[in-house]
Chain A
Amino acid sequence: MADPAVPGTTGAVYRRIVGSRIRSQLSYRASFALDVVAQTIGQSIELVAVLVVFTQVEQLGGFARHEVLVMYGIAATAFGLADLAVGQVEELANHIRTGELDVLLLRPLGALAQIISADVALKRLGRVGAGLAVLAHALATAGIEWTPVRVLLAATAPLVGAVIFGAVWVAANTVSFWVVDGREFSNSVTYGSNFSTSYPATVYGPWVRRVLCFAVPSAFVAYFPALALLGRTDPLGLPAALPYCAPPVAALTVVAAALVWRAGVRRYQGTGS
């Protein structure tokens, strides 16, 4: 993780890396278009599951359809943004296995930044788009009494959620420094937290909820911000300030992820391949 010799040029280097990756993705046009469609369908399909559930019941975990859709919209947009920004960290396991990480560590650029910028998967815009559409619809139809604080909350919640998801992704994937082929382990954390945020935290039993609130702070992605937007008190009786605590929680998560990442890199010895 050496610093670049000439600080002013670092940004330009990353811009060129990202630019070349974006151009390369646009070369197989038909496949790229289908990938975007797949991402959009992927997000919409999860929405279908939520909607089908509400054809059978009036409420879920104490929340009505329009309230769950607010949570779903925030979660989906946050996940899409995080996936777009840092989703490539999933490739860490491959970089370690192939020895590519040695090359990245030798360069005068941050290793994590290199992995993340190596392949900005534009197809994930499909997911962000689908999430934003649901969020806009949900916010417009949920009967929210808008105040300046709530407008600010609605605008920032997907971004703050994306920061939490992004930090969780980085932290979860560093498991690859300790476990060979750890990608599936990290998937259970990353995609599991995505799945869990689409539903109210009240759906889960006490111990799953504790994991969701404190170990993987995914309840702060959508559940708590949605409570504040909808003006609902927490059915679980947690402190009234928690719905507004997502930004500091996001900051803490980033610090924790950075520490885990450094510990992983320090421990890294290479596979000898």
Chain B
Amino acid sequence: MLAPYPQLVVAGFRRYATYRQAALAGLSTNLVFGLLRAAVLVAVLAERPVVAGYDVAVAVTYVWLGQGLLTVVLLWGDSELSTRVRTGDVVVDLGRPWDLQAALLATDLGRAGFAVLSRLVPPMAFGALLFPVRWPERPATWALFAVAVVLAVVVSFGVRFLLNASAFWLLDARGVLAVWGVAGGVLSGLVIPLAWFPAAAQAALAWTPAPSLFQIPIDVFTERGDPFGALAAQAGWALLLLAVGRLVLRRGSARLVVQGG
């Protein structure tokens, strides 16, 4: 039974590797926004040399890592499941001899794997050429960062799966996905470091999976705070979201009405 999933990881990787021009075009957007975002944070740090523990090196590392992780973690642009629910194709998926959630997760991990090569490494290299990037001081940080990125992808998948599954009830999940796409960016610490938010907002966000997506991997890389506690929080959210996703899928498919034609 385990056999199809590693193949789906490879298939996910190869599917996205096919569209090289699209990857290149997306990369150009990442770089332009990286330059603009870095300029804003550097202008902030021109007023005060250190803001909430961020100096220029940490701030530009934060920006370029965030730009790189954007496509890996994938905040928006995944409406596959909800589209298949709307068109009815999901019936075919549910009938196949696999676990639908695990199959989608495997494909998503493959996609993320290609995104690491095509969308995470180039912006980091570009940023490192133009800005004083803060590299990890402890060798172990690289391994911890890799774990944090994988967990961030799983948490993001868990959230996207739930939002997409809302199509079982709403028929059209585009609005829900759009709200997440815009709100998720700020709440997950992609736009402005969460450490710059007022303490109350930070405390509230700590109770959500949002920081697991971008802020935690970036914190692990820049060696801010205890990495093991952060990874444990990510793992907890990953498991919880996957478990809730299973439940929702079961309830959703139970009320699925297959329309003929």
Contacts and interface: CB of A to CB of B under 8 A. Distances in A.
Interface of A: 28, 30-35, 37-39, 41-42, 45-46, 48-49, 52-53, 55-61, 179-185, 187-189, 191-192, 195-196, 199, 202-205, 208
Range of interface residues on B (Cβ < 8 Å):
35 or more
Interface stretch (B41-49, B101-109, B215-223): B41-49
Given A34-B175, A48-B186, A56 B48 contact: yes
Contacts of B198: 55
Contacts of B37: 195
Contacts of B33: 188, 191-192, 195
Contact of A45 (B36, B48, B183): B183
A56 B52 contact: yes
A184 B39 CA distance: 22
Which 6 A-B pairs give the minimum distances between C-beta atoms? Answer: A34-B175, A184-B25, A38-B178, A42-B182, A188-B29, A188-B32
18 contacts: A28-B172, A30-B175, A34-B174, A34-B179, A42-B182, A45-B186, A46-B191, A48-B186, A48-B192, A53-B192, A55-B196, A56-B51, A181-B21, A181-B22, A187-B29, A188-B29, A188-B33, A191-B29
A56 B44 contact: yes
Interface class of chain A by DSSP:
helix
Contacts of B31: 188
B167 to A, nearest CB: 10
B39 A203 contact: yes
A194 to B, nearest CB: 10
A205 B39 contact: yes
Given A34-B176, A202-B43, 13 more contacts: A31-B175, A34-B179, A38-B175, A45-B186, A52-B197, A53-B192, A56-B51, A181-B21, A182-B25, A184-B22, A184-B25, A185-B25, A188-B32
Contacts of A179: 21, 25
A33 B198 CA distance: 30
Nearest to B193: A52
Contacts of A37: 175, 179
B253 interface: no
Interface of B: 19, 21-22, 25-26, 28-29, 31-33, 35-37, 39-40, 43-44, 47-48, 51-52, 170-172, 174-176, 178-179, 181-183, 185-186, 191-192, 196-198
B201 to A, nearest CB: 8
Nearest to A54: B44
A25 to B, nearest CB: 12
A208 B38 CA distance: 12
Max chain A Cβ within 10 angstroms of own Cβ: one of B52, B182, B183 = B182
Nearest to A61: B43
A60 B47 contact: yes
Contact of A49 (B36, B39, B172, B192): B192
B21 A204 contact: no
A184 B28 contact: yes
